[in-house]
Each structure stands twice: as structure tokens, then as C-alpha cells.
Amino acid sequence: MLADEAEVNRGVDFVGIGVSAVPQPEKGTAVTVNVLPGTPAEVSGLRPHDSLLAADGLPIVGGERIFLERLRGPECTAVVVTVQSPGQPPRDLTIVRARYSGPQPIIAELVATADGARVGYLFLPTFLDESIDDQVREALETWGPLHGLIVDNRMNGGGLGTIAEALLGFFTAGTVGDFVTVDGREPWDILADPIHNSQEVPLVVLVGEETTSYAEIFTGVLQSLGRASVVGQRTTGNVEQLHLFEFEDGSRVWLAAATFSPALSEADWETDGIVPDLEVVAAWDSFTYETDPGIAAALTLLGH
């Protein structure tokens, strides 16, 4: 699903423990996608990939019902969260809720390599936060020239085309495809916005079953242009562009208005999704940053 441009997310503002998490009903858990900086969750030692099992002894996910709101509550109140890190037994953390108001942060790291090569890693949690492109710009400027770059879209549910367009400009340029409607085709033109060697740096994009919307299009564009190799699992093919229509009675409906057709590929992304060049199947809650099989595979493709 592609969010309407009017539905801009300027960050988050809530009282809770300070995590972004995705429910996993089949496991009865929610898995931590991101730990927000300076929050009680970060102080308590929670990390991405940790599973959230219970809050005050009550399940976070029960069957098809989701109870993530149990992590929220009044400021300065405590909640006992049962968590499980990959490969570890469950443990209880007592966390005092606090307010967080700010952006959804990316994760930007230089990956340790055997040959000393400078390889960057960017985890992109969403394209709905309008600060994402500025955060990526800052990371690229800080790192300087790189020997390789890994972009992690495995938990990226997409969002705004303006964010995807800005990010693509760091890595490529030109007409990358068309948005196709019943009335015709609208070309998608990307303006180059190089930062150090970002237009030439070898790229690997990580994808998975949670990669949807503009995260799929971003990945597929770079793959179809030969700018990036793709590692992970086939995506869902959710590349329809939706527009929001509001009615006088207050009701709203999203209608599919366009799909995306890449410039240099005959692939049908809506039917087949983005097909990785190298398949790596691993659940988000089964590894840590240090043991990530996707990063390991990406380094192999990059020759480091």
C-alpha cells in the first residue's frame, strides 16, 4: 500500500517504553523492529530482533488479537515486560514508561569486514517519516567514500513516494519507470543527488516478507537498473499506488489508482513481487545484528 502524500508522518509522539514492534500472531509474540533513542527501552537493554512476549504477565499477542497497547500507559508508571533475545531464554524487564516525541530513527553502522573495507549498513524502518532521507544523507556524509553499502528494507512497510524518490537520488538518476493508470503513463524521473561516491558505490538491498509499497519499488528500481543486488525473501508485490478520497459524511476510502512499471525490466512486480538475486530465509527474531545472515550474504556479494 502506498500512502497518500497528505498523510505525512513527522515522527511519533506517545507515552510507552519506546519500541517499534511488529505482531507475529503465529508465534504469539511481537518482534522489536526499532528501539527509539534515549527511551526506557534502550536504557533497559532492549534491542532490535528481541521478541516481546508479555506485559505484566498478560500476552502481547493472543491468537489473532494484538495487545501492544499494554506497553503504553501514563508517564512514570512501570510495566514488567517479558522479552526474549535470539537464542536466549525469556527474561523480565521492569520498565518505567516515558514520553517519546521525535523521528523514527534509521540505524547506520559501518560493518566490520575481514579486509578492512569500508562497508556501510543502513536500516530503513519506514518511508512514512519525512526525516528518513535527511538521516540517510547525514550518514553518507559522515562516512565519506565507501567500498560498499547494504540497505536493509526487510521491515520497511513503505510510505511516501517523496521519500523513496529522494533516497533513489543518492544512488541513481534518470527515468526509472512509469506509474501506469487507466489514463496513461506518468514517468518517474529521479534527479541525481550524489554524496561522496554514492552514485557508484556497490549496493546490496535486503528484503523480506514485510517489505512492501515504495520499499519494494525502491528496491526493484535499483535491481532493474543494475545498481543493486537483492538478498533475502521474495516480497509481496504490493506496488499499487493508492489515493485517499474523503466524503462529506466523514467516511474515507483508499482506491488503487496506479501501478509501477520499471523502465528496464519486463518483470510484473505486482504479480511476482521483487525476486531476490540471492535467497536468504531467516526470521527477524532468529538473529542479531552481529549474527545476521543477510548481512553476511551481502558482504559475500560485495566481495568483503
Mean pLDDT, all residues of the chain: 91
107-159 per-position pLDDT tens digit: 999 999 999 999 999 999 999 999 999 999 999 999 999 999 999 999 999 88
What domains can be seen in the chain, in order of their start residue? 18-96 (2.30.42.10), 107-302 (3.90.226.10)
Average pLDDT, integer, range 22-48: 94
Instruction: Check: pTM over 0.85? Answer yes or no.
Output: yes
pLDDT for the residue numbered 1: 35
pLDDT confidence of residue 2: 39
What was the pLDDT predicted at 33? 95
pLDDT digits (tens, 9 = 90+) for 7-32: 445 677 889 999 999 999 999 999 99
Give the per-residue pLDDT at 10: 61
Share of the chain above pLDDT 70, in %: 95
Q: Does the pLDDT of residue 282 top 90, yes or no?
A: yes
List of residues 6+ apart from 270 with CB closer than 8 A: 237, 239, 240, 259
Q: What is the arithmetic mean of pLDDT over 85-92?
A: 97
For 161-191, the pLDDT digits (tens) are 899 999 999 999 999 999 888 788 989 999 9
Q: Read off the pLDDT of each residue in 46-50 and give the average, rounded to a whole number.
A: 97
